Chain A
Amino acid sequence: MPLSIVVLVKHVYDEGQLKVDAATGLVSLQGVPGKVSTFDRNALEAALRLKQKFGGTVTTLTLGSEEANKSIREALAMGVDNAFLVRTDDLLKLDSRQVVEGLAGGLSKMPKWDIVMCAEGSTDVYSSVIPAMLAEKLDVPYLSYLRSIELEGQTLKGDRSLEKRVVTVECELPAVVSVVSEIYEPRIPTLLQIMAAMKKQITTFDFRDMNVEGEARYSLEGMFAKAVDRKKVMFEGSPSEVASKLVDSMAKEGLI
């Protein structure tokens, strides 16, 4: 049975390039470039591998501004068949409920799907609540934090790591799934795929047409960098010298 998989892709600020005001601790987003949320690429890889095994299509769904097309094209270069954007310029002003309703609205306008694949969280906000809330909204089962995925007929199975155990969970399709980044290393698109992805169609809906009612129940007031005191001690020498210096130093600090 050919599968129809939708992967949620988010365009985020590049967290490595955030600027922090040393005096106030305020994080500025001014001039910070965007990029695809890193973990989404692992989810894309998981979806593309399922497609390779069972046939079908991989589609992406994104909520964001026109700028998000850059991340969508990265996904297309990896081998995604179709892409949809629910366009809003106010993503940071939406609360999780509004995001989920916007995504559900997009899904309702897209071809029928079997799996909605998500990353474990986005690399900017990392609330990790969207997949669960979306599953609830769509009234389908949700398998969370999978580190492996298998499909037998209409049954989706996967492993989730707990601290000292691994649990295997399963459900019937359709379903929402979130995967951890360890599941697969994402493929590197070829130059030809990158070039071809530039010409693929991205279907755009307007967020205002998604019938999202009501106001946001919480809002982002500002972002502050948390000051963390680290010693950052560098040891030099051969590996065995470095190891004994490290142990000595930890003993001195009362850590061991």
Chain B
Amino acid sequence: MALHFPDMGESDSRSALLNGVREFAERRIAPIASKVDEEDRIPPEFYTEMKEQGLMSMLVPEEQGGLGLSTSLFAEVLEMISGYSGGIGLSLEAHNSLGLGHFSKYGSKELIKSTMPGILESGKPVAWALTEPRGGSDARGMETRATRSGNGFMIRGTKTFITHGYTADYIVLMAKTEKGITAFLVDGGSDGLKREQIKGKLGTRGPDTATLSFDDVFVPETNVLGEEGHGFEQAMELLDGGRIAVGAMGVGIARRALSLSVDYAKQREAFGSKIAGFEGIRFGLAELGTSTEASALLVKRAAELRDAGQPHRKMAAMAKYLSSQVAMEATRYAIQVHGGYGYFKGNVVERMYRDAKLLEIGEGTNEVLKLVISSEMFR
């Protein structure tokens, strides 16, 4: 099915789609968001529901059985959802932009044909394993090795902080062969793969996190993604997209935090009048509203460049760098506006404050992003 819209203008189709996502977020995500956070668990049946909704195959091209959304539209969908649940937003972000995104973009035709339908049908997220215990930011220094063995490779090493790592049926793994860093699609049922769940995340709770140990895990040659030795470039290319998506999550969290604050300020009274009338409240909202829209424009610009096939590494890094900080500031201020009520568990802004923190760390810490941005500036 061709998913362009010959009958309607681009903006009509976009708004129809986003209205659908908003309705799903309000009716299906908002009621469970607090439980997802509290239990640090997204129920399997909710993944099935998200699959049926189309949310588990957003970036997969139509010919592979996905929705084939543009980066721009995908970012807007994530923005909308992350405002309601950072945990569910993160799960969709990591699965669509990294795990499934990597496989879909670099898997061979044969591997896509044999494996993609099952992945899409299962509705289960695909994990993406780059970070290691000794270093997340220093990806080139990874220690996981893939050694040639028969018609494939034997993998040894450890990956950690892997989102969906505990439950994923498939893991996209970066490991070093003699030709350099290489990406593999690893079957979650492989012998020698051990998973240990990591509990206790501060925010974006919901998707599981795990440490994965590979003790001579065999992966057939056919499961190499793209060319051997090109895994690092692939990962960086995927992260460029991922950073736009994380940037969009930040915009969504900031926008909703501010909108909840406006609603609260309109009804909360102090000193005999609504606090919405106080400049002390209004000016902060004005400042953060401005920063939020500025970061939204950066995310939009980076997404448009990616969609147009233009260089966008710097813009994507800038988008995440700015929007993650704005999300932190906006949620911090939202708690301030809510006062004591905002400080307690069960209040949405308290959760959003914790959710926002991840955005300054995941998919490149903001320090790494500053390296990326400056190295692009000095090229």
The interface of chain A, by Cβ under 8 A from chain B, is 69-70, 73-74, 77, 188-192, 194-200, 232, 234
Chain B interface size, as a band, is 20 to 34
Q: Which of A191, A192, A232 has the most CB of B within 10 A?
A: A191
Q: Are A190 and B7 in contact (CB under 8 A)?
A: no
Q: Are B53 and A195 in contact (CB under 8 A)?
A: no
Complex A-B: 11 CB contacts under 8 Å: A70-B16, A74-B19, A77-B16, A188-B28, A191-B21, A191-B58, A192-B1, A194-B20, A195-B17, A198-B5, A198-B13
Q: Are B12 and A70 in contact (CB under 8 A)?
A: yes
Q: Are A234 and B267 in contact (CB under 8 A)?
A: yes
Given contacts A73-B16, A196-B1, A198-B16, contact A191 B55 (CB under 8 A): yes
Minimum-distance CB pairs A-B, first 4: A191-B54, A198-B5, A194-B20, A198-B13
Point out the residues of chain A lying under 8 angstroms from B7, CB to CB.
Answer: 198-200
From 1 to 32 in chain B, residues with beta carbon under 8 angstroms from any chain A beta carbon are 1, 3, 5-8, 12-13, 16-17, 19-21, 23-24, 27-28
Q: Are B20 and A189 in contact (CB under 8 A)?
A: yes
- Please tell me if B111 contacts chain A, counting CB pairs below 8 Å: no
Point out the residues of chain A lying under 8 angstroms from B191, CB to CB.
Answer: none
Q: Give A72 to B27 CA distance when docked, in angstroms.
A: 21
- Please tell me if B237 contacts chain A, counting CB pairs below 8 Å: no
Q: Are A199 and B6 in contact (CB under 8 A)?
A: yes
Point out the residues of chain A lying under 8 angstroms from B267, CB to CB.
Answer: 232, 234
Q: Closest B-chain residue to A74, C-beta based? A: B16
Over the window 166-200 of chain B, the binary record of Cβ atoms lying under 8 Å from chain A Cβ atoms (1 yes, 0 no) is 00000000000000000000000000000000000
- Please tell me if B294 contacts chain A, counting CB pairs below 8 Å: no
- Please tell me if B52 contacts chain A, counting CB pairs below 8 Å: yes
Rounded to whole Å, the gap between the CB of A77 and the closest CB of chain B is 7
Q: Closest B-chain residue to A189, C-beta based? A: B20
Q: Are B5 and A188 in contact (CB under 8 A)?
A: no
Q: Give A233 to B267 CA distance when docked, in angstroms.
A: 9
Point out the residues of chain A lying under 8 angstroms from B53, CB to CB.
Answer: 188, 190-191
Point out the residues of chain B lying under 8 angstroms from A197, CB to CB.
Answer: 16
Q: In the complex, given contacts A70-B16, A195-B3, what are 19 additional A-B residue pairs having Cβ atoms less than 8 angstroms apart?
A: A73-B16, A74-B16, A77-B20, A188-B23, A188-B27, A188-B28, A190-B53, A191-B17, A191-B55, A192-B1, A195-B17, A195-B67, A198-B7, A198-B13, A198-B16, A199-B5, A200-B7, A234-B267, A234-B268
Rounded to whole Å, the gap between the CB of B21 and the closest CB of chain A is 7
Q: Are A195 and B13 in contact (CB under 8 A)?
A: yes
Q: Give A219 to B13 CA distance when docked, in angstroms.
A: 35
Q: Give A188 to B22 CA distance when docked, in angstroms.
A: 10
Q: Closest A-chain residue to B69, C-beta based? A: A191
Rounded to whole Å, the gap between the CB of A72 and the closest CB of chain B is 11
Q: Give A196 to B20 CA distance when docked, in angstroms.
A: 13
Q: Are B24 and A188 in contact (CB under 8 A)?
A: yes
Q: Are A194 and B17 in contact (CB under 8 A)?
A: yes
Point out the residues of chain A lying under 8 angstroms from B28, CB to CB.
Answer: 188
